[in-house]
Structure 1
C-alpha cells in the first residue's frame, strides 16, 4: 500500500514539474531583473557584473535583459535611481519640519544612518563604482544634493550668530562628508549603536559650529 502511494505521489510530482509555469508579465519580469541586478551590483559592483550573469540568475536569455533596459548601464541606472530616491526621501522628510538647526542636524544624520541600517545593499551600490563618464547617480552627486539642502539651513544659522552666510556652502560640504564617511565606516564595523554614532557626529559638528571663529586663519602658514 505504501509503495502504491509513493508511486502515485511521484507521478503527481512529475506531472506538476512538466506543467508549463505561468509566464511573467512585462512589469513582473522587469521587477525581477531589477531585483537580480540590485543584488549583483551590491555584491560585486558595476564593472564585475555582466549581462550574462544577470540573465542566468533570472533564468532568461540575454536579449530579455537588453529588451527591458538596453544593457547593463540601463539596468544599473534604474537600480541607482531607486536607491537615490529612497535615501533622498528620508533626508528630505527629516528636514521638512521647521525646527532648530540642532534638531534638523540630528534628524538628517539619523536619516542617513537609518538608510544604511535598513538597506545596506542599497548603500553599498551607491558607494561602489559607477559606469565611466556617468556624472549623475554617483554617491558624490547624491551628497552634493544633500549639501545644498543643508547649506540653506546653515546660512540662516550663520546669520543669527553673526557669521558670514557666504561660507555656508563649504561648511555644508564638510558636514555632509563627515556624516557620509562615518556611515561608510559604520556599515562594516557595528561596534556602536546607531543612536550612539549619531550622537557623536552631532556632538562634533554642533560643538564645532558653536565655537566657530568669525574670521578663521591658520596658525602656521604652509610653505610656498
Structure 2
C-alpha cells in the first residue's frame, strides 16, 4: 500500500481511506479489468458481417491478453469475494450477448433459435480457451490465431445442419459399425 501511495503521489492513509484496505484495492482493480475486457469484447462483436464479428471478437480478446497481460491473469486466477470466478463472470455475459446475436442469425436462416445458447457457449468457449492457451504460448501471432479460430467457428456455423445427428452412435450410445 505504501508503494501504491508513493506512485500515486498521495499519503498511505489516503489510499486506505479511498479503498478501505488491500482487499478493497484488489476489488477495484478486478472490477476495472472486468469492465474493460467486457466492454472491449462486446463492442467488437456488435457490427459487421457474421464472420467479421467472430474475427473481431477473437482479435479483441487476444489483443487484451497481449496488452493487458497482468490484468488478464488477475481476471483468470482471481475471484471476487462471494462471486463466481471473475473470468467466468465475463464469459457468461459475453456468451449471453453472442447467443442473442446467434438467435437472430438462426432465425434468419430458419434454424432452431432455442439452440443459440448452446452454440454461444461453444463459440465463446473455443475463443476463450484458445486465449488461455495463447497467454503462455504467444505463437503464432494473435492475427494468425484469430484467423484459425474464425476459420473453425465460421465454417462450422456455415455447415450447420438443422437437425444434427451423431454419425457413429445409435440412440443406445453404442458405436455403429460402418461395415
Asked if TM exceeds 0.5, the reply is yes
How many Å separate the matches in 2 of 1:214 and 1:58?
59
Aligned length: 168
How many Å apart are 1:96 and its aligned residue?
A: 3.3
Deviation sequence 1:37-56 (CA, Å, 0-9, x none): xxxxxxxxxxxxxxxxx446
Query: Within 5 Å, which residues of 2 pair with 1:178-217?
Result: 178-217=126-165
How many Å separate the matches in 2 of 1:62 and 1:184?
36
CA RMSD of aligned residues (A): 2.3
Of residues 99, 102, 108 in structure 2, which corresponds to 1:160?
108
Partner residue in 2 for 1:103: 52
Residues 122-131 or 210-219, more deviating: 210-219
Give the structure with higher Rg (CA): 1
Unaligned runs of 5+ in 1: 1-53
SS in 1 for 2:79: coil
Asked if 1:76 corresponds to 2:26, the answer is yes
How many Å apart are 1:130 and its aligned residue?
A: 1.3
Deviation sequence 1:116-143 (CA, Å, 0-9, x none): 11111111111013145224x7100101
- Contact 1:101/1:154 (<8 A) preserved: no
Unaligned runs of 5+ in 2: 175-179
Partner residue in 2 for 1:24: none
- Alignment TM-score, normalising by the size of structure 1: 0.67
Partner residue in 2 for 1:113: 62
How many Å separate the matches in 2 of 1:56 and 1:216?
58
SS in 2 for 1:113: helix
- Contact 1:110/1:195 (<8 A) preserved: yes
How many Å apart are 1:216 and its aligned residue?
A: 2.3
